[in-house]
Amino acid sequence: MSQEPQRGVREPPLPLPSQPPAGQRVTHGQSPYIPGQERSLGYSQPSVHPMHIHPTASPGDNSGPHSFPPLDHSLPPPHLHGNPPPMFARPPPMPPRFSQPPPAMSRAPNIPYQVAFRNPVMMPRECSPLWLQRGPPPVPPCPPLQGDRAPVSGVHSGISKGTVLRDAVGQEEEDLKWLEEFEKRVKSYPPSPPPSAESTAGKKVVKLAEVQRLVAESHSLREQLCVLEKELTRVIDSAEEEEWIHLVQQAEGVKASLNQILDVFQDQEFVGRTKILLKQRRAKRNRVKRRKKERQLEQEELKRKREEEDAKIDAWRAKLQQEEDTKRREEAVKCEADSVLGEVRQKQSEGQRMLQLLEALADLRCTRATQAASQGRPTDAEADHRFTTTTEMLSKIVKEQLKEYELEEQTLRVMMEESASHRSAALSAKRDANFARYMDAIRKLLFGPTATAEEDAGLSLETLVWRRQDWDQYIVEQQHPLASAIPVSWILPPEQPHSSWAAFKR
């Protein structure tokens, strides 16, 4: 990699690209890109003196006779002069190294100065022949350069800067004069004639509102004509000449207006378009009615589904409530049975324990008798008979007592179930009473303590009709922008009401 140059030390000049032979023109802005060669972006050709450039040439001028003159190889480059100008006092900026050439510029090159005047004058495709009688004044072309080299002095090819400025001023004056004459010619043309009545009548758009207006106007004119006819019939013998002429003129004017409207209705094209519009309007109304009916059916179907869902939800809630009540009742019965049937169950457990004790005593005597027989000791048969009789009698007594305990337990259970049912009925009645009191409190809160009309509406037909008449005043169509359905539940006031309603909050 190249090292940074030290301050105050000038690096040796970079080798310039190969120069073209003498007499060959150089095209600027199209030099090939050489990777690794560091060149200044703003210093493209240091060997061309600024005075050699044509004063009217543009930076992109790369063609025509006014291109740059060939390079003078006899002059050394500026960086080799003994006293270089300030722009060459420091080395040119070094662009970064690229691994590949930069993309081509999308901007098109400038149009050369003289080539622009060699192109034909662009004219619109469609224009009036009068506009072409006199074209714009000719523009004098730029004089060609004499020889391959441009003079070093400030005068270029014998034309000074003052001459160029005077020519530009004269050219501008001629352009202004031509524009003024062109404006006068355009203003002198007659205006275009208005469109004919036939073309406008053929393109007239028929509207149903206009047809309705014509029909209403024809009916009105017919009524006026009938009134004038009756008036003329009434004053046919007694009217003066002026009055009669005035009435006849009115009748003729009304008749002319009516005939004009009738002529419009006798136009087959007008009638055909009106029929088409009526057919379209009828189809639109039928379509609107059909869509409205479909929406009503959809709403009814949605309402039916909602009612079915509500019924399912209510049944599910009732089932859950019933299961909860049954479970609660069983738990209450069990707790009461534990407290009431404790004595009976204790007696039953004592009887079962006595039976188990008698069975264990019989097993023990049998075991001892078997052991004594194996040892050769005889047993008393009378004692065995007495033991067996006594144990059987005791077992019979205990079993009878256990049966009595079971009957007592069943009786107590029936009594507890009856009391539990009475208790559940009492609880449900109490719950219904509490709910009724709650609804009564809400009704009083909403409608006040005296609500006789609301209470009597369910019993009196006159009150019901009166209430329905008051409510029917507010019935509107469903498509009304302010329409709303009656809520299915109570509407409670918000926690933070408006300032106008805050005074009524308690």
Comparing CA positions, the residue from 407, 431, 403, 424 lying closest to residue 336 is 424
Kindly state the average pLDDT of the residues 127-147: 52
* Paired strand residues for 156: 159
Higher pLDDT: 155 or 196? It is 196
Contact between 53 and 102 (Cβ < 8 Å)? no
pLDDT band at 291 (very low <50, low <70, confident <90, very high): very high
- For the ranges 138-142, 259-263, 315-319, the lowest mean pLDDT is seen at 138-142
Min mean pLDDT across 272-281, 383-392, 457-466, 475-484 is at: 457-466
**Mean residue pLDDT across the chain:** 72
| CB neighbourhood size of 124 (10 A) | 7
Contact 52, 69 (CB under 8 A): yes
Instruction: Tell me the pLDDT band of 315, cut-offs 50, 70 and 90.
Output: very high
Q: How far apart are the first and last CA of the chain?
A: 91
CB burial of 453-476 (b: ≥16 within 10 Å; e: otherwise) equals eeeebeeeeebeeeeeeeeeeeee
Residue 45 has pLDDT above 70, yes or no: no
Lowest mean pLDDT of 109-118, 202-211, 228-237, 241-250, name the range: 109-118
Q: 9: closest CA among 89, 123, 70? A: 89
Residue 269: C-alpha distances to residues 266, 342, 394 (Å):
9, 107, 125
Q: How confident is the model at residue 102 (pLDDT cuts 50, 70, 90)?
A: low
Residue 346 or 456, more confident? 346
Structure confidence at residue 319 as a pLDDT band (50, 70, 90): very high
CA dihedral 253, 256, 257, 259 (to 10 degrees): 160
Q: Does the pLDDT of residue 431 top 70, yes or no?
A: yes
Query: For 212-223, what is the mean pLDDT?
Result: 90
Distance CA 68, CA 57 (A): 9
Whether residue 360 has pLDDT greater than 80: yes
344 within 8 A of 405, measured Cβ to Cβ: yes
pLDDT at 241 over 50: yes
